[in-house]
């Protein structure tokens, strides 16, 4: 081990995580989360059709604080998956693959999801 | 299975494009409602084209979700039997959800 200046392979602790990777993973996570949310949508529709005390129970459950937190999460998931989905559809046309473009659109989608969720639940 | 990847790709893109419209419609419609009280939601769904849109949303969601979950299973589940079972189970659950939701929307909107 005479040469201490040998090049080393990239180490995880000094690896700069690209934003595009974050968006890719978030797309998948939000997709799976919304697949689970589909069960809640089904429950809501079944309760709506049943009406009366069944819906009263579902209403109380779906408007409870933990449910609201989850719904805000699903709302964020929707806007992120929507924005990133459109980003994918643009890529399908062969556009937007340049590194700078992909990075910019990733940040834009993330910002859009946060702002849209805030507008949906708080501001409007 | 030749051509099934291309079919998957196209089906995913078509359902995604439909969900851009249907999803935004649903989000904006629910946002406009004063509350989620039974009468309020029933009032909204009393308009036939609202029920049609919601029914369409349910089918497209179940289908798009099925395509997505399929890819996730194929990526992470490698044991052949578990993989096969997961795929069949996912297909069955999504099919039941799609049919059940449309039936319920029909029941609510058109009073079967």
Tokens representing A28?
Answer: 């998948």
By three-state DSSP, how is residue B111 classified? coil
Average pLDDT, chain A: 93
Mutant choice from B12, B18, B27, B94 vs A, greatest count of A C-beta within 10 A: B27
Vertex A57: Cα angle to A53 and A63 (nearest 5): 140
Task: Grade residue B105 by pLDDT with cuts at 50, 70 and 90.
Answer: very high
Q: What is the DSSP letter of A10?
A: P
Query: Taking CB atoms and an 8 Å limit, are A82 and B24 in contact across chains?
Result: yes
Give B-chain residues touching A123 at CB under 8 angstroms: none
CA B47 → CA A121, B22, B53, distances in Å? 26, 16, 10
Query: Which DSSP string do the residues of B11-69 spell out, in sequence order?
Result: HHHHHHHHHHHHHHHHHHHHHHSS---HHHHHHHHTSHHHHHHHHHHHHHHHHHHHHHH
CATH number at residue B88: 1.20.1300.10
User: pLDDT per residue over A24-79, tens digit each?
Assistant: 999 999 999 999 999 999 999 999 999 999 999 999 999 999 999 999 999 999 99
Average pLDDT of span B87-91: 98
Flag whether pLDDT at B112 surpasses 60: no
- The range of the structural domain enclosing residue A57 comes to 17-123
CATH number at residue A102: 1.20.1300.10
* A2 inside domain: no
Torsion of CA B68, B73, A41, B21, to 10 degrees: 0
**Number of structural domains, chain A?**
1
* A83 inside domain: yes
pLDDT of residue A22: 95
- The range of the structural domain enclosing residue B45 comes to 4-110
* A22 inside domain: yes
The minimum CA-CA distance between A122 and chain B, rounded to whole Å, is 11
Would you say B59 and A42 are in contact if contact means Cβ atoms under 8 Å apart? no
Share of chain A above pLDDT 90, in %: 82
Mutant choice from B39, B101, B105, B111 vs A, greatest count of A C-beta within 10 A: B101
Check if the interface score ipTM surpasses 0.90: yes
pLDDT of residue A5: 77
Model-level pTM?
A: 0.91
* A88 inside domain: yes
Average pLDDT of span A85-110: 96
Closest CA to A41 of A9, A2, A70, A1: A70
CB atoms closer than 10 angstroms to residue B13? 15
């Amino acid at each position: 081990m005479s040469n201490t200046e040998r090049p080393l392979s990239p180490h995880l602790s000094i690896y700069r995580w690209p934003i595009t990777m974050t968006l890719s993973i978030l797309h998948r996570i939000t997709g799976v989360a919304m697949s689970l949310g589909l069960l809640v949508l089904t429950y809501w529709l079944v309760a709506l059709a049943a009406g009366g005390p069944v819906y009263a129970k579902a209403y109380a459950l779906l408007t409870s604080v933990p449910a609201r937190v989850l719904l805000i999460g699903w709302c964020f998931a929707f806007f992120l998956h929507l924005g990133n989905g459109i980003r994918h559809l643009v890529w399908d046309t062969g556009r937007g693959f340049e590194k700078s473009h992909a990075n910019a659109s990733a940040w834009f989608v993330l910002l859009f999801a946060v702002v849209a969720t805030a507008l949906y639940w708080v501001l409007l | 299975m030749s051509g099934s990847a291309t079919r998957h790709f196209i089906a995913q893109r078509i359902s995604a494009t439909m969900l851009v419209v249907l999803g935004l419609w649903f989000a904006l419609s629910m946002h406009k409602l004063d509350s989620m009280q039974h009468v309020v939601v029933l009032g909204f769904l009393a308009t036939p084209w609202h029920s049609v849109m919601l029914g369409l949303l349910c089918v497209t969601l179940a289908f798009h979700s099925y395509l997505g979950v399929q890819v996730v299973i194929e990526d992470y589940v490698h044991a052949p039997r578990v993989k096969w079972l997961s795929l069949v189970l996912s297909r069955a659950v999504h099919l039941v959800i799609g049919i059940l939701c449309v039936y319920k929307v029909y029941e609510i909107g058109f009073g079967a």
